[in-house]
Structure 1
Amino acid sequence: MSENHETSGASLDSNRLRLQADCESCFGLCCAALPFAASIDFAIDKDAGQPCHNLQSDFRCGVHNNLRQLGFRGCTVYDCFGAGQKVSQDTFGGHDWQQVPESAGQMFNVFPIMRQLHELLWYLTEALTLQAASSIHNELRLALEETERLTHLNAGSILELNVAAHRADVNALLLRASVLARAEVLRSVKGSSSRRKTFTRGADLIGAKLRGADLRGANLRGAYLIAADLRDADLRGADLIGADFRDADLRGADLTDSIFLTQAQLNAAKGDVHTKLPPPLAPPEHWSLSEHKASI
């Protein structure tokens, strides 16, 4: 990445595009490299490095259009942030693990590391859109450039990376950006609503009744929002990094200007046409008024 990397809207949009999964350019790595266990999200057990039985020779999923119906909901909420095509086309130069089977083990081990790096690139790109965090934009740019550099290392060097240490450094920076952005939101809404709720990182909100809650600028980092009722909740400016939205009801919720929300989180939740989302995120295909009708 250029040392003169800019944070203009155009360049940030370009970054986002590069960090979206391009399954046509990937060798089915998420379907082969990663393990999963039989559960509500997966119909079967699969070991790491064992190709899913639904993976075809052309690296396409044989049941892609029916994953939820067949018990593979977990596949529909997974996002590699573009790591799949990076490993397939860049790190391994377009040589797939079927044609070069001796590369399979190394490719499968590199993929989850690359996925972590690409996830950090996504969050850093998002942090650079936060005007309230402009005082640390230079630090964010440097972190983004360093993370991008790491993604272009050769396979052996990637396997030797201390990813946990790098994540810790980047996460500290992302937290600073969050604090600055949420402080601005909280200043603007201070004393404006008696319904406002506050939480701490990793809050246990499983099944919580938060319909219509004022969560503007809330710290919901790593919160467990599984099956929470968030209908019509106001989540503008809330930090949602790592929040677990599995089966959370977001119908009518306002998530515009929320911080660090990902498409994968939305894919795990329920919503409808009245759910307001920040760009460039989009309503998942399974969201519909008819699918999520509930008693009012």
Structure 2
Amino acid sequence: MGEEADDADELVQARQVLRGDCARCFGLCCVALPFARSADFAVDKPAGKACAQLREDHRCGVHDRLRPLGFGGCTVYDCFGAGQHVSQVTFDGQGWRGGSRERARQMFEVFPVVRQLHELLWYLAEAVALPAAGAVRADLRRADAETRRLVHLPPGELESLDVAAHRASVNELLLRVSELTRADFRGKRRDRRGADLLGARLKGADLRGVSLRGACLVAADLTAADLRGADLTGADLRDADLTDADLTGALFVTQPQLNAARGDARTRLPESVTRPVHWATGP
């Protein structure tokens, strides 16, 4: 019991630095990343070019009007704290403005890599704290330590890092933890990993302990669905209706997933995430 409590405290502390802090970032997501004109973005923007709405102080000039202006995709994105890490740690507080083109280029290349590593740290922090992870907890801690080591590599090494290979290695552990945790749910638990559930009618569905890893749930009707203990790693929840759904204890849920979905005050969520503000009025 004591070890589990320590792991829970560690989870809270670990995730405090895995949340975006725009005040300590050089607006990297507004420059490094590309976006295409679509329902999520009002204009096209190539990677490495600053968004026209980015101010000189690296803050968004239309942050309070992003959705009405057609930039809903910006409100969904979360860097897991990679922005401030790259800005303040990797590049020691030196911004991309006023410096060399090479530094700016390298910063924009490194940012997506660190973002992936921070996302893995988010998953690993949760996995270590799960009661059923006992058999692989030591392996999870080693993976966490290695991921933290990689995060602190110098820019040149981060730029050339094979982050896909590291993700694959960590993913094997996360999958094992998921299986161990979901084994507590009785009955036949259908594996819907990677399933195409675009627009699926799942109102009131019993999805307890079901693996929905990487599933496409875009615009799916999950109203009043029971998702307790379901594995939602990488599931695409864009425009999915989570009204009155129960996600208590759902595994590996991230804030960007919820930001992209719809829900209401009755939607029950894991403690690690917050209820999106726009849920009150619709996305």
Shorter chain as denominator, the TM-score bin is over 0.9
In structure 2, C-alpha distance between the alignment counterparts of 1:126 and 1:10, rounded to whole Å: 11
Match of 2:216 in 1: 224
Equivalent pair of 2:195/2:214 in contact (CA under 8 Å):
yes
Q: Which amino acid aligns with 1:269?
A: A
The answer to whether the aligner puts 1:161 opposite 2:161 as a matched pair is yes
Q: Which amino acid aligns with 1:150?
A: L
- The 5 A counterparts of 1:136-285 are 136-184=136-184, 186-187=185-186, 190=187, 198-285=190-277
Cα offsets for 1:190-228 (capped at 9, x unmatched): 27xxxxx73421101111110110000001001110110
Match of 2:16 in 1: 17
Match of 2:62 in 1: 63
TM-score (norm 1): 0.91
Q: Which amino acid aligns with 2:56?
A: S
TM-score (norm 2): 0.95
RMSD of Structure 2 on Structure 1 (CA): 1.4
Match of 1:93 in 2: 92
In structure 2, C-alpha distance between the alignment counterparts of 1:115 and 1:95, rounded to whole Å: 18
Deviates more, 1:207-216 or 1:92-101: 92-101
In structure 2, C-alpha distance between the alignment counterparts of 1:210 and 1:130, rounded to whole Å: 27
In structure 2, C-alpha distance between the alignment counterparts of 1:7 and 1:29, rounded to whole Å: 34
Structure 1 unpaired stretches of 5+: 1-5, 192-196
Provide the identity percentage: 59
Equivalent pair of 1:7/1:128 in contact (CA under 8 Å):
no
The Cα shift of 1:256 comes to 0.7
Equivalent pair of 2:262/2:282 in contact (CA under 8 Å):
no
Equivalent pair of 1:126/1:260 in contact (CA under 8 Å):
yes
- The 5 A counterparts of 1:127-142 are 127-142=127-142
Match of 1:3 in 2: none
In structure 1, C-alpha distance between the alignment counterparts of 2:190 and 2:67, rounded to whole Å: 34
Cα offsets for 1:217-271 (capped at 9, x unmatched): 0010011101100010000000000000000000000001000000100000000
Cα offsets for 1:261-295 (capped at 9, x unmatched): 0010000000000000011211101011x548xxx
Structure 2 unpaired stretches of 5+: none
Distance change in 2, residues 1:199/1:9 (3 Å):
closer
Q: Which amino acid aligns with 1:131?
A: P
